[in-house]
Chains A and B, each alone.
Chain A
Amino acid sequence: MDRDNERDSSAVGSVARELDLVGRRREFKIAGIRVAGRRRRPSGEAAPLPRQLRAAGHLWLLSGLAVFAVWFSLFIVPTSTDWWTRQDLKVLEWFVERRTEAWTTIAKALNALTSEWFLRVLRIGTLLALIWVRRWRHFFAVLLTLGIVLATGELVQELVGRPRPLVVILADWEGTPHPSLPLGNLAVTLAVMTYSLLPSSRLRRATLVVSGAVVTAVAISRVYLGVDHPSDAWVAMMFAPAVAVVTFRLFAPEAVFPVSWKRGVTAHLDVTGRRGEAIKTAVAEQLGIDVVAVEPFGQEGSGGSTPLRLELAPDDSHGEDYLFAKLYSQTHLRSDRWYKLGRTILYGSLEDEVRFSSVRRLVEYEDYVQRLMRDSGIPSAEPFGVVEITPEREYLMVSQFLFGSQELTEADVDVDIIDDALGVIRQMWDAGLAHRDVKPANVMVRNRQVVLIDVAFGTVRPSPWRQAVDLANMMVILALRSNPELVYERALLQFAPGDIAEAFAATRSVTLPSQSRSSLALFKKETGVDLVEEFRKLAPSSEPISIQRWSSRRIALTIGAVFLAMLLLSIVASEVTGGGML
């Protein structure tokens, strides 16, 4: 009987395994690469890189909840204030009974660490150091953290409105004691210094431990001196560093903005460690392609995503050794939003400036545009699809790696290449598409054919202005490797003279990608020829096209931005001249 049962269960297990493998056995090819073993993640199974709090995160979360619980009781049940005070006084009396001259001297010395000028020196020093290394994320994260702690502390002090401890007070004080702002200021200052100045390392962890010990000693000294109740000190000690942890995690996460003492390092996601492994797993399961290595690729030319090169296992490659991928995260989503906001303020809604609501939406849009370009016959890399790394937070867009291609400005540009490149622009015009970022790094030549990359930044049914700018940008980079007369002559085969005139009437310094701008400047320096002006001379004359679009939204945003900037400046000025946050 038992044996029958075992046999039955073995058969069932075998069938289940076989069924599980049905999906994995499907095999096909994309761009010559074998795709096999795709697998659906069943319900309940963790994502490749699940979002999780580590031990420190749990600790801070618990601290935050404990602080919240104390405040909740103080706010909702005012009588609990008396209970807290009684407990506090028991501790205070214990200290008061043990006061001696020597302990008082030590306590006052420790309490001096909360002095306004000491903290001011630390804070301004930190900010100056961050300015020097141009780490603006960390700079603003520090300001934001200090501002939140100060504003929240003052608000709660006002709301709780508690007297100082009912004992003889041996040190100077100001305002109500809950939470203890001097202690909170010291704790948050040490926390932001550690998070913004020290790279993630044992040194940082050791510094945090030492900072914690210093803050605890100062807290005990303030209770000893009768300036704060124990609960005032405890809440400040928990709350202030928790704000620093949360702000830095949200605003300058270590994975994206690691602390480094190199100047002006661009921010990209770290793809080593857990994330690197998660990428390999996710690509294997969701695309059916085995990746053996993940490495950053061409990061200097990309700000909107983290570009990667995925090295394939020899079995899967079939001659194609690599795939190209772009990793998108919430940080990139926020960057996209700021970029669009900045454009709207500077130019108005020249084109679609509606922000994406999630990383998923951003990736879906870019994947769609990439496929639409391909379907419309625009020569570009073959898309492999979207890979989910962390649901709603991180996605990877994978496409063909154009092995053996070179930038247009590094290739031999002859009439065929010129015709091909201009033909690509013509195709996009005909298909109602625009690339929006035509620059040397995005126009490749492979097997004597022009291929566009980074097409996902493109748009459907662009404004005539944007289409004209695409044409001008392509003509400019072609002329860098040939001459404007030849490019103009070949362009007339595919575009009307009026089109070309419009393209250069729309061209401004700001409409040229920065890479093209610097190439043009270098060209002018070496040859004395301004290519844009040369094209304008060749084309029929045309009135410059304004790139300013005014709308009530732009006016409101501009007023809001100016107001915020003035507010920020006035806060910084008043803090520097007066006292408080800095």
Chain B
Amino acid sequence: MRLRILLTVVMALLATACSNNITLGLPACDRPPTDPTGANVLVAQAVPRAAYAPCINSLKLGWDEVELNVESGRASLEIGREFSRFLEVSLTETCDVSSATPVDSSLEGASRYEDLTIVRQEIPIRLIPTGERPRLHALMLAEQLGGTRLDDRPVEFSVDENIDFEVRTRVNDALFDDQYVWIINDLDVEEGTLEMRMTADGEGLRGLTVGAALDRLEDLVPNVTYKGQWFFVFEGGCITYDFDAEGTVAVTLDQDAAEAIGFYDNAALIEAGRRAGYTLIEE
């Protein structure tokens, strides 16, 4: 009986605690440096010399689990759904960008780098005709098949009209651009078939009808994927976006991440604290 009373009291306290919203929560972008949340302060304490710290503008639909992990030297936001993490945004003092490519940065005083592996939602198919008659046939086919969807993903057809170039070179170019290759020759025009080629040199699948080729493709195309890193390097720190998403969440993840995650002015927070009498960095 006494145990039940105790449990009831504890549960009531926990419920009150939750309703009073005194939990740590997440670092908010909309709080001024003079009135930060506890989470903003804790993240700043992790890497106190960093000019910026990650913060949340607004959570996106489907970002069901957002967890803040903070320790000295590192703060991270882990974002996921159904026990699967698809994005981790971390603040550290340094980061290794040697394998990444520099890109334009919109963040003042920060350099941006990317190292990504992307499988877009659109399934690109390059039709490579081997002569004039096949070229006309390919153009007609691309027109007819416009709007086709595979696994609810749009299929984009394009026709390589450079019929004077060597087929092998054209196939190579298409594969290099992560496109699927359908080769159409005169016999294919006669018989309404095509050849699906996976490699530049190897044998393709000949004599496929369009329907059969699409069926084959359905088994071959990988999931929509957004994997890799964005790096923002600035004075005193680095923010890394670590993406590992497949499927529907990957379709708009880059836009969602850019909108939802912001950059908190950490330097201003530390300075505001110093003016209020709290010294967080050794002078």
B-binding residues in A (CB < 8 A): 71-72, 74-76, 78, 81, 155, 158-164, 166-169, 171-176
Contact = CB atoms under 8 A, between A and B. Distances in A.
Contacts of A160: 22-24
A161 B39 contact: yes
A172 B71 CA distance: 7
Please name the 5 residue pairs, one residue from A and one from B, whose CB atoms are nearest each other, closest first: A161-B24, A166-B278, A174-B71, A163-B41, A75-B17
Given A75-B13, A173-B71, A168 B20 contact: no
Nearest to B74: A174
A173 B72 contact: yes
B70 interface: yes
A173 B42 CA distance: 11
A499 B197 CA distance: 82
Nearest to B24: A161
A128 B103 CA distance: 55
Contact of B22 (A75, A164, A175): A75
8 contacts: A161-B23, A164-B42, A166-B41, A166-B278, A169-B280, A174-B71, A175-B69, A175-B70
A74 B71 contact: no
A172 B23 CA distance: 23
A168 B18 CA distance: 31
B16 interface: yes
B22 A81 contact: yes
A74 B22 contact: yes
Given A72-B13, A163-B45, A168 B279 contact: yes
B282 interface: yes
Given A75-B17, A81-B22, A168-B280, A161 B72 contact: no
Given A162-B24, A167-B280, 16 more contacts: A72-B13, A75-B20, A76-B16, A76-B20, A158-B23, A159-B22, A161-B25, A161-B38, A163-B38, A164-B45, A166-B273, A166-B280, A167-B278, A168-B282, A175-B71, A176-B70
Interface in B237-256: none
A162 B45 CA distance: 12
Interface string B6-28: 00000001101110111111000
Nearest to A173: B72
Contact of B13 (A76, A166, A168): A76
A189 to B, nearest CB: 21
B20 A169 contact: no
A367 to B, nearest CB: 25
B136 interface: no
Q: Most chain-B CB neighbours within 10 Å: which of A71, A74, A163?
A: A163
Per DSSP, chain B at the interface is: mixed
A159 B23 contact: yes
A169 B38 CA distance: 17
A541 B45 CA distance: 81
Interface in B33-61: 38-39, 41-42, 45
Contacts of B70: 174-176
Nearest to A176: B24
Interface string B250-279: 000000000000000000000001000011
B281 interface: yes
Contacts of B72: 169, 171-174
Nearest to A74: B22
A169 B281 CA distance: 8
Contacts of B14: 75, 155, 159
Nearest to A168: B282
B49 to A, nearest CB: 12
Per DSSP, chain A at the interface is: loop
Contacts of A72: 13
A169 B22 contact: no
Contacts of A168: 279-282
A219 to B, nearest CB: 19
Nearest to A157: B24
Contact of B20 (A78, A163, A173): A78
Contacts of B22: 74-75, 78, 81, 159-161
A74 B273 CA distance: 23
A163 B42 contact: yes
Contacts of B281: 168
Contacts of B20: 75-76, 78
Nearest to B283: A168
B33 to A, nearest CB: 14
Nearest to B14: A159
Contacts of B278: 166-167
A452 to B, nearest CB: 38
Nearest to A93: B277
Nearest to A175: B70
Contacts of B39: 161
A57 to B, nearest CB: 15
A163 B273 CA distance: 13
A94 to B, nearest CB: 15
B90 to A, nearest CB: 14
B82 to A, nearest CB: 19
Contact of A169 (B17, B41, B45, B273): B45
Contacts of A169: 45, 72, 280
A71 B13 contact: yes
Contacts of A167: 278-280
Nearest to B13: A75
Nearest to B42: A163
Nearest to A170: B282
A494 B25 CA distance: 78
Contacts of B41: 163, 166
Contacts of B23: 158-161
Interface in B185-203: none
Given A78-B22, A174-B71, A162 B280 contact: no
A164 B75 CA distance: 13
A17 B121 CA distance: 99
Q: Most chain-A CB neighbours within 10 Å: which of B17, B21, B72?
A: B17
A124 B216 CA distance: 56
A172 B280 CA distance: 14
Interface in B64-82: 69-73
Contacts of A81: 22
A72 B14 CA distance: 10
A155 B69 CA distance: 14
A168 B23 CA distance: 24
Contacts of B45: 163-164, 169
A374 to B, nearest CB: 36
